[in-house]
A and B are shown apart, each in its own frame.
Chain A
Amino acid sequence: MIDGKLYLAGQSDFSPAKLYLQAGGFQLHAEGNHTVTGSIDQLHVANRLGNIARKITLPDGSVFETKDNDAIDSAFANNNQSSGFMGFVHILERNMALAIFSIFITIGVVFASFKWGLPAASHAVASALPESANQALSGNVLEFLDEHFLEETKLDEKQQEQIRQHFFDTIVPLYQAEETPEFKLHFRLWPLGEKGSIPNALALPSGDIVVTDRFIELAQSQDEIDIVLLHEMGHVVGRHSLEQVIEGSAIVVAVSMAFGDVSWLADMGVGVGSFLISSFYSRGHEAEADLFAYEHSLQAGINPASLGLILNRMEQDMLFDQPDSSCNNSSTNKKPKPDITTAEQDENNREGVLGYFSTHPSSAERTAMGRRFQTCFEQGLTTCPETKHK
């Protein structure tokens, strides 16, 4: 006997009721109401979900509702209705071991698709798209940067012309492909504070490469400028911006499918998650651009070590050598801490050619790559096949 309530078809009024099931038939007694009898096959039983009230629909449309889910399950165990696919789903849901097993499968699949599936897919999509997509992405980015961040260069015309000449005559021809992007070189000043300026080089998908004055000032050799420009060309050729956009949107779609019900929570999660993931991917892109720079630098006889050197100098410049901050203020401020840090960093500075990469634990791959190309360069090779590690 199962206790519950009986609602007449489509009505909110109900009366307490008892359901008896035996030998393929049923009897339903509703208080102050008639008794219904019939065959068990005439009942439609809703599939089980957690412990929410179970509905059994009678042939006349009235509904018997009970919270005694277990009694229903055992009474209808021989009846095919409560099994089927959703019955199977409920067995999965009830089983904690299976749930834990599902966690591992889910994590495994999610990890694998982020680690290999997504980069491969977005790479394929990015290379399949026409050049116009790449151009569209650049849009007015340079105008925007000019308006908000960059100022006109203070380098003299002669130096600019010299660098540009060298870039187009020697560096650009290194990359030969069917569809070569049209590279353009722009000189800009990126101001920081009162007197400082930021050393940087950046590439837009359209092939526009921007180098800042401070970067040119910091570069101590032609090789250093060349290899950074090659690195930026690597970003353009690899269509990294496009890949990043595709990856970003794929992540947003995937995450909102998993966390669909409470959308604002999902928004927050997506924001933080995609920030972390995209910084992970951009590391991969940096390594790819490095590879491009190293490979072509060997052909042109540029020392691969220049990349580590100049990047290291740029970082140190950003952190500690800004003329308007640390020097002036440290005399007035009596906190000793920052000075010690600076001294330590100076030690690191002299650590060696690959200091830049080795201070970044996550870029072990980049360091190894740098070393490999450095060896090849010293042996006078123009290509550097990957040596087999055992």
Chain B
Amino acid sequence: MKALQFNGNGTEYFKIWIVNILLTIVTLGIYYPWAKVRSRRYFYGNTELDNANFEYHATGKQLFVSYIIAMVIFAIYVGVGQVFPMISGILAVLFFFIFPWIIWRSLKFNFRMSSYRNVRFGFNGALGRSYAVFMGYPIAVIFAFVILIFIGITIGGGIESVSSGMGALLVIPMFILMFLAYPAFFAMMNKLSQNYVINGAHFGQGQFSADLEFKPFFIILLKAMGLSILLSILAFIAVGLLAYLIVGADQIMTLGAQMQAMEQGAQPNALFFIVIFSVYAFFIAVGMYVLAYIKAKNRAYVFSNTTLDNTISFESTLQTGRFFSISLTNFILLIFTLGLAYPWAAVRLYRYSIESIEVEAKEGFDGYMSKAGSENALGEELGDAFDIDVGGIAF
């Protein structure tokens, strides 16, 4: 097993980032696609496996065309929406229909524009499958849910009987069902989308493959739910205790009124400010921890079930606690520097995400060749305008 390595550093990236922002401002946004390319090239180029680095090949010009198209579409959407609100609703539905196509295009473009050891990645997943995963499945679930509720109400003899004994008997299983439906939906979405992305990806002539199941994703999400409930209770107790110690019980009752007054522009009492601040801080921390947990567990499962050409395998060593502490300290750093520490924060997080990926390639990476000319021409001219990060695999 060999871990990936990241050679970039915050100070170097800071200079690139600040120049990117400066030029984007000076050119009134025109430079943005070139800025994005420089950032990407920096992160890819400093990512190494076995002394060879990855590369990002898209050019500012490619991204610029699609950037302009996206901007024009967005301007039309906003403009039309203001004058004819009805039509903007239709446009939103239209967007829902082209969304799977956008995902598919982005995947094709972004894989195609990445290489390792002079060999390009690629994506050959079918467009129809993208529609099935990102449009068909969500619609099916919504329909199934509506029908289920409809059946429930009909059997229960209408909404009026919900308060009666018969209704209550039905409400409880419905409630449990709804409670489970949420993680189940996302677990299914994870399974479908990750299988689609991984099985469609290739490195040169080598095909990635994975056979991901519903159950592990579902269990991870159930555990995450349990974890967030537990942590929320703990945070609630902690905040309550803190508030009691700082301001005393009698004033806690007026907390709501104080917040109301603050919204009206009143100067908050310093002690209350501390209490309100710590409520936010605790709950942001809980949210971050649960997200870190989901990320670590999902990634470990997905990576260990992915192979390239059935000879190269992957492992994720990302730890929840470590990822959480990096995220949290980054967040604090960003607040206290008003965002200026962003390059260091981004590098820290990226470095940990990358260096916790391990690759086992017994036969090495020799003998791979870029697939030439098989991609359609559109992919080369039109970049990825919508910045969609499918599957969330930080690679």
Q: Which residues of A contact B (CB under 8 A)?
A: 7, 10-14, 49-53, 55, 63, 65, 89, 92-96, 98-99, 102-103, 105-106, 109, 129-130, 132-133, 136, 192-193, 196, 198, 200, 255, 257-265, 268-269, 272-273, 282-283, 286, 314-315, 318-320, 322, 324-326, 329-330, 333, 335, 337-338, 341, 359-363
Contact partners of B366 in chain A: CB under 8 A: 12-13
Partner of A94, one of B8, B15, B39, B118: B15
A260 touches B261 (CB 8 A): no
What residue of chain B has the Cβ atom nearest to residue A96's Cβ? B15
**16 A-B residue pairs with CB within 8 Å:** A11-B118, A52-B41, A63-B118, A99-B15, A99-B18, A192-B257, A259-B342, A264-B291, A265-B349, A269-B339, A269-B342, A319-B261, A330-B250, A333-B250, A335-B248, A337-B247
Given contacts A10-B372, A333-B248, contact A315 B261 (CB under 8 A): yes
B369 at the interface (CB under 8 A from A): yes
Bits for B254-279, please: 1 = Cβ < 8 Å to A, else 0.
10111011001111010000000000
In B296-336, the 8 Å CB interface with A consists of 330-331, 334-335
Least CB distance, A82 to chain B, in whole angstroms: 15
Q: Does B368 count as interface, using CB distance less than 8 angstroms? A: yes
If A53-B53, A133-B82, A265-B330 touch, whether A106 touches B25 (CB-CB below 8 Å) is: yes
Q: Does B253 contact A (CB under 8 A)?
A: yes
Q: A96-B15, A198-B257, A286-B265 are in contact. Are A50 and B342 (CB under 8 A)?
A: no
Given the complex, which residues of A lie within 8 Å of B19, measured CB to CB?
89, 92-93, 98-99, 102
**Cβ of A326 and Cβ of B250 under 8 Å apart?**
yes
Given contacts A105-B25, A282-B265, A361-B267, 11 further A-B contacts (CB under 8 A): A10-B369, A12-B368, A51-B7, A93-B19, A103-B18, A257-B29, A286-B265, A325-B253, A326-B253, A333-B249, A363-B265
Question: Residues of B contacting A335 with CB < 8 Å?
Answer: 248-250
Knowing A102-B19, A319-B254, A333-B248 are in contact, say whether A10-B261 is a contact too (CB < 8 A).
no
Q: Is A268's CB under 8 angstroms from B250's CB? A: no
**In the complex, how many angstroms separate the beta carbon of A202 from the nearest chain B beta carbon?**
9
| Cross-chain contact A359 with B267 (CB below 8 angstroms) | yes
Residues on A with C-beta less than 8 A from B251 are 325-326, 338
Given contacts A49-B41, A329-B250, contact A283 B265 (CB under 8 A): yes
Task: Name the contact of B204 in the complex, choosing from A12, A63, A95, A200 (C-beta under 8 A).
Answer: A12
Taking CB atoms, residues of chain B closer than 8 Å to A65 are 118
**With A96-B15, A257-B29, A325-B253 known to touch, is A265 a contact of B267 (CB < 8 Å)?**
no
Bound-state Cα–Cα, A11 to B250, Å: 74
CA–CA, A17 and B240, complex, Å: 67
A55 x B55 contact (CB < 8 A) = yes
> How many whole Å from A388's CB to the nearest CB in chain B?
28
- Chain B residues closer than 8 Å to A269, beta-carbon distance: 334, 339, 342
* Chain B residue with Cβ nearest A256: B387
With a cutoff of 8 Å between Cβ atoms, the chain B residues found around residue A192 in the complex are 256-257
Selected contact of A262 from candidates B45, B117, B350, CB within 8 Å? B350
CB of A102 within 8 A of CB of B21, answer yes
Q: Is B188 an interface residue (CB 8 A)?
A: no
Which residues of chain A are within 8 angstroms of B8 by Cβ–Cβ distance? 50
CA distance A317 to B10 in the complex (A): 51
Residues on A with C-beta less than 8 A from B330 are: 265
Which of chain B's residues have a CB closer than 8 A to the CB of A333? 248-250
Complex interface: chain B residues within 8 A of A325 (CB):
250-251, 253-254
Q: Across the interface, do A265 and B346 meet the contact criterion of CB distance under 8 Å?
A: yes
Residue B16 at the A interface, CB < 8 A?
A: yes
Across-interface contacts of A95 in B (CB, < 8 A): 15
Q: B201 contacts which chain A residues (CB < 8 A)?
A: none
A370 and B8 CA atoms in complex are apart in Å by 56
Main secondary structure on A side of the interface with B: helix
A168 and B36 alpha carbons, distance in the complex (Å):
57
User: Does A263 contact B389, Cβ atoms closer than 8 Å?
Assistant: yes
Instruction: Name A14's contact: one of B29, B53, B118, B350 (CB within 8 Å).
Output: B118
Interface residues of B in 1-52 (CB under 8 A from A): 7-8, 12-16, 18-19, 21-25, 29, 32, 36, 38-43, 45-46, 52
A8 to B334, CA, bound (A): 44
Question: With A and B bound together, what is the CA distance between A318 and B24 in angstroms?
Answer: 47
Complexed CA–CA distance, A200 and B284 (Å): 30
Q: Check B370 for interface membership: any CB of A closer than 8 A.
A: yes
CB distance from A22 to the nearest CB of B (A): 26
Q: How far is the CA of A93 from the CA of B38 in the complex (A)?
A: 11
Interface centre among B13, B19, B118, B366 (most CB of A within 10 A): B118
Whether the pair B24, A257 counts as a contact (CB closer than 8 A) is yes
Q: A329 contacts which chain B residues (CB < 8 A)? A: 249-250, 253
A198–B366 alpha-carbon span in the complex (Å): 73
- Do residues B349 and A262 form an inter-chain contact, with CB atoms below 8 A? yes
Bound Cα distance A337, B8 (Å) = 53
Q: Pick the contact of A273 from B261, B339, B369, B387 — CB < 8 Å?
A: B339
| Chain A residue at smallest Cβ distance from B251 | A338
Given contacts A259-B339, A318-B257, contact A12 B21 (CB under 8 A): no
Complex Cα distance, B369 from A12, in Å, reads: 6
B116 closest partner in A (C-beta): A12
Q: Are B367 and A12 in contact (CB under 8 A)?
A: yes
Name A8's closest neighbour in chain B (CB-CB). Answer: B118
Is there a chain A Cβ closer than 8 Å to B157's Cβ?
A: no
Would you give the shortest CB distance from B369 to chain A, in whole angstroms? 5
Distance, CA A50 to CA B40, complexed state (A): 12
A130-B83, A318-B260 are known contacts. Are A261 and B346 too (CB-CB below 8 A)?
yes
Could you tell me if B14 and A260 are in contact, using CB atoms closer than 8 angstroms?
Answer: no
Q: Which residues of A contact B96 (CB under 8 A)?
A: none
- Name A263's closest neighbour in chain B (CB-CB): B389
Complex: chain B residue closest to A271, CB-CB: B284
B327-371 to A contact mask, C-beta < 8 Å, 1/0: 000110011000110100110011000000000000001111110
Q: Give the nearest-CB partner of A55 in chain B.
A: B55
Q: How far is the CA of A174 from the CA of B15 in the complex (A)?
A: 57
Complex CA gap A333/B85 in Å reads 56
Which residue on A lies nearest to B256, using beta carbons? A192
* Chain B 380-395: CB-based contact to A (< 8 A → 1; otherwise 0): 0000000101000000
Measured between beta carbons, the chain A residues less than 8 angstroms from B247 are 337-338
For B369, list chain A residues within 8 Å (CB).
10-12
State in angstroms the CA–CA spacing of A195 and B264 once bound together: 22
- CB-CB nearest in chain B for A89: B19
Question: Which residues from A are CB-within-8-Å of B42?
Answer: 49-50, 52
CB of B7 to closest CB in A, whole Å: 8
